[in-house]
Amino acid sequence: MNRDIEIIFVDDEENVRKALCQTIEIEGYRVNDFASAEHALPHIDPSFPGVIITDYNMPGINGIEFLQRIKAIDADIPVVLLTGHADVSVAVEAMRCGAYDFLEKPFSPEALLESLARALEKRQLALDNRQLRLELTGQSIPGRRILGNHPSIRDLRTTLLRVKDAPADILVFGETGSGKEMVARFLHNHSNRHNKPFVAINCGAIPENMIESELFGHEAGAFTDAKKRKAGKFEYANGGTLFLDEIESMPMALQIKILRVLEERYVERLGSNDGFNIDVRIVAATKEDLKEKAARNEFRLDLYYRLNVIEISIPSLRERLSDIPLLFEHFLLMAVEKFGMEKPPVTARHLQALAQHKWPGNVRELRNVAECFVLLGEQKAFPDNALSVSSRELTLSEQLEKFEEQVVRNALEQHNGRLKEVQEALGIGRKTLYDKMIKFSLDKQEFKNAVN
């Protein structure tokens, strides 16, 4: 059964629903059936990954009205209309309203399945084209790029492009080195604020007695050594984006003042009674669970909720090992240009070593390895005999096969042999996973007691 495909079947006659749902499910499709269009509509949105089959004659919303409402949600969703009345005018109206197909009862199961297969192919093509256009937008317009083809990174790019112009503050969560500032810059550079300043401040790197002045600015004489007026980061970022990295490090006393700025978009410099309005989009980043810190009275819960209008989670590198070859090649090319040196060849031994590493420093650590490889060579970049020396260089297919085996093995280890979780993490079907486990002689039992 393809878990990514869904069929919605709507008919007010229960016997008809049961019979046709059974026919469709035998073909391996997942079916949700409803007795009315009113019940089906809440389950339909622009990301719906399948086809809708509906009867024409139903109480309440009939088939044509249902079709029109579906097309208002997403004009590309294929709708197959069924009717028991030999009425040419109904067929003409259905096609005029955008029905994919029209079947007159009684019809053969083969006719329905053939129409369904063609409609599903059309829907998949529409969704693929839509995703491609969205990704191309993110990859082609000027600004930072987020590289990777793992499903988690595709989802991340899609989410960022959807919220890039939203007038809402964003909280980015990710491990050290996972690319939190890259995400913030991506949002800024691809947004309608891209011509305005992007200002970054690390809340954990500035002494506590200085951070308030850094953020709000100060007037001359506001404190010792305040010789002249200074604009703060909020003021510098006006019209653009302010990135607050390591927000969890912000002193508790300052958090209430930040909360007030976020709520009122109004700033007063230290030593001044007059303030000014600001138009700033805040992107805050953390590597810690702020809600847990709030429970320990180490972070203000109200500030957490104010920042967490939109939450973005960045996957760790070990969760998307299949992206390592692409990222490593990218960082190598950047290092070659940066240092003016030749690009060293990458072999299967290098890729295997990269796949076996746990990457506590995430993408930043991978970039450092690439730069070290360019500057100092293999032995410095891959120390401690991480590379197994083979008697010959492997072919391209052998290199890819070894890397694929390591990715599957790492996923099984990470999820303790739970195959459903492994399928979802790798973005593959059950049969594909079983085939690869047989191919690489992997037994799920050996991973049952693995530690994540």
Each residue's pLDDT tens digit, 23-37: 888 888 889 999 999
Are 183 and 148 contacting, i.e. CB atoms less than 8 angstroms apart? no
Domain shared by 366 and 261, yes or no: no
Q: Quick one: 124 and 159 in the same domain?
A: no
By CB atoms closer than 10 A (0-12, 13-18, 19+), residue 197 is middle
Tell me, yes or no, whether 281 and 340 share the same domain.
no
Among 279, 313, 347, residue at a domain's last position? 313
Average pLDDT over residues 141-162: 80
Q: Does 452 or 121 have the greater pLDDT score? A: 121
| Percent of the chain whose pLDDT exceeds 90 | 39
Are 301 and 322 contained in the same domain? no
**At residue 4, does pLDDT exceed 70?**
no
The reply to whether 137 falls in a domain is no
pLDDT at residue number 305 = 93
**CATH number where 200 lies:** 3.40.50.300
Overall pTM > 0.85: no
pLDDT computed for residue 137 by the predictor = 54
**Residue 93 pLDDT more than 90?**
no
Q: What is the pLDDT of residue 51?
A: 94
Does residue 135 belong to any structural domain of this protein? Answer: no
Least confident of 41-55, 96-110, 115-129, 381-395: 381-395
419-430 pLDDT per residue, tens = 888 888 888 888
Are 189 and 285 in the same domain?
yes
Distance CA 159, CA 145 (A): 14
Q: How does pLDDT run across 405-420, given as a tens digit for each residue? A: 888 888 888 888 888 8
How many domains are there within the chain? Answer: 3
Yes or no: say if 60 and 36 are a contact pair by the CB < 8 Å rule: yes
pLDDT at 389: 38
Nearest-angstrom CA–CA distance, 186 and 181: 8
Q: Is residue 146 part of a domain?
A: no
Q: Which amino acid appears at position 234 of this protein?
A: F
Do residues 306 and 401 share a domain?
Answer: no
pLDDT confidence of residue 380? 86
Helix (H) or strand (E) holding 366: helix 362-376
The single-letter DSSP state of residue 445 is G
Question: What CATH number is given to the structural domain containing 20?
Answer: 3.40.50.2300
Predicted pLDDT at 428: 85
Q: Is residue 367 scored above 60 in pLDDT?
A: yes
Task: Specify the pairing of strand 6-10 against strand 30-34.
Answer: parallel
- Same domain assignment for residues 106 and 163: no
In a domain, 139, yes or no: no
Residues 163 and 298 reside in one and the same domain? yes
Annotate 317-347 with three-state secondary structure. HHHCHHHHHHHHHHHHHHHHHHHCCCCCCCC
Which three-class secondary structure string do you get for 249-313? HCCHHHHHHHHHHHHHCEEECECCCCEEECCCEEEEEECCCHHHHHHCCCCCHHHHHHHCCEEEE
Q: Does a structural domain hold residue 138?
A: no
Whether 155 and 288 share a structural domain: yes
**What's the pLDDT at 449?**
54
Long-range contacts of 115-122 (CB under 8 A, 24+ apart): 115/80, 116/7, 116/24, 116/27, 116/29, 116/51, 116/53, 116/80, 119/51, 119/78, 119/80, 120/5, 120/50, 120/51, 120/78, 122/78
pLDDT at 87: 65
Same domain? 267 vs 124: no
Residues 345 and 413 in one domain: yes
The domain boundary, picked from 254, 284, 313, lies at: 313
At residue 349, the pLDDT reads 79
Q: What mean pLDDT is reported for the chain?
A: 85
- For 115-131, write each residue's pLDDT tens digit: 998 898 888 878 877 76
Same domain, 229 and 350: no
The residue segments making up the domain with residue 34 are 6-130
Q: Per-residue confidence at 104, pLDDT binned at 50, 70, 90?
A: confident
Condensed to tens digits (0 to 9), the pLDDT of residues 376-406 reads 888 888 875 544 434 345 566 766 777 788 8
pLDDT computed for residue 432 by the predictor: 84
pLDDT category of residue 227 using cuts at 50, 70 and 90: confident
> CA-to-CA distance for 155 and 131, rounded, in angstroms?
10
Residue 452 located in a structural domain: no
The pLDDT of residue 348 is above 80: no
- Residue ending a domain, choose from 262, 280, 313: 313
Question: Is 1 among the domain residues?
Answer: no
